[in-house]
Structure 1
Amino acid sequence: MNILQSKMLLALALILSLMSCKAQTLPLNTALLDIPNGAYIKDTNNELAPYIGTYKTNFNGNEITLFLTKQENKLQKRSSKQFYRDALVIKYIVKNSSGTILQDTQNNNLDIASIFSIGTEPTENTITFVYRGTHCNVGFGEIKLKRIDSTQISWQYRPNDIVTTAAKCPPTLDTKIYLPETKDLIFTKQ
């Protein structure tokens, strides 16, 4: 083999090596166990788009406004791997009856009070979210949104053990959960 052939073979091997390093793209509802490290879970069927928008409701005297946006390539870190996912992200404002803001996460770029989608059930028009909770993860739990039609979604929020989590938090931090802890609450698109 001459020098030119050796260089061409080396270049071909390098190109093939780089191509194999490209992240694997998988559909949105790929099971966590089936996701390899570094993969990209993509919204290939555009399942997230119908939920994007601003929604409002009133619950127990409070006005709740949800802002749903799509974030592509959202980094997901698990104990044994990390990957990227297209996800819906919920930011929100909760106001009391006099208009005072009780909680506002619109400019929150931290994990505190973050809400992001982790899966869809297309046949049921449902998206499941994880809520990281507020300080000390108080309220950590699952939120489900069901698309009723093009203008309404139904809300269900189930927090995990609140009392035990709040007891571990310093008393100076606000551990109140402002999100509605209920099922079948209707939000209307604005």
Structure 2
Amino acid sequence: MNKITLIFILIFSISCKSQTNIIEIQNRCNVGFSDTDGSTYLKDISNIYTPFVGIWKWTSGNREMTLTLIKQTKFHITSGAFNFYKDRLVGYYVYKENGVTIIDTSGDNLMNEYGLNVDFSIYCGGLVGDSSFQDIKKDKSFVVSLEKLSPTQMKFTGKVGEGTYQIGRTPTTVYLGSTFPLEMFFTKQ
């Protein structure tokens, strides 16, 4: 009987060790969790990303931008000391003027952990935003927020992020403005 009890305790201990600690991604600021042990999963339980998934288009006169957003579930982050999982909203965009492509990020490897041109997060409290939406042509990054206005309409609002430029001993070229507007209203295609 002792051997059976010991085996049961051993199996139970091993199975407890491999369990995933699932945390609602929008509530992560209110919960202590480890982002280094490989067992944490910041999950979009409330499906906040879902309404943003798809192909979105903005047009104004001779300018247009197409933004494609994809939800990745249980994406494994393993950079440096980090070792956890999270749901994320990534994608790419194509910006055109007069029918000529000015920026096309559709060739981006969306499986990269960091350094993506389009990578949105759910902020604590449920807002969807981006810590760095890249303007490739101007070599700038913008902080962007997305606001769902209706099932087919979305507002894109960008602003220059803090610490975007690093000016040191070497001369740095600073491009003024942005290639595309920092406030756009997209329609789902």
Relative to the length of structure 1, the TM-score reads: 0.74
Q: Give 1:16's aligned residue.
A: 13
What amino acid is aligned across from residue 45 of structure 2 in structure 1?
T
Percent identity between matched residues is 19
* 1:118 aligned onto 2:116: no
* SS in structure 1 at match of 2:45: coil
C-alpha separation between the residues in 1 aligned to 2:159 and 2:128? 14
Q: Give 1:31's aligned residue.
A: 29
* 1:188 aligned onto 2:164: no
- 1:46 to partner: Cα distance: 1.5
* 1:75 aligned onto 2:76: yes
Residues 76 and 32 from structure 1, CA distance in 2 versus in 1: closer, same or farther, beyond 3 angstroms?
farther
**Higher helix content, 1 or 2:** 1
- 1:152 to partner: Cα distance: 0.6
- 1:170 to partner: Cα distance: 9.3
CA contact (8 A) 1:102 1:178 kept: no
Paired residue total: 178
| Higher alpha-carbon deviation: 143-152 or 49-58 | 49-58
Unaligned runs of 5+ in 1: none
* 1:164 aligned onto 2:150: no
Q: Give 1:40's aligned residue.
A: 41
Unaligned runs of 5+ in 2: none
* SS in structure 2 at match of 1:19: helix
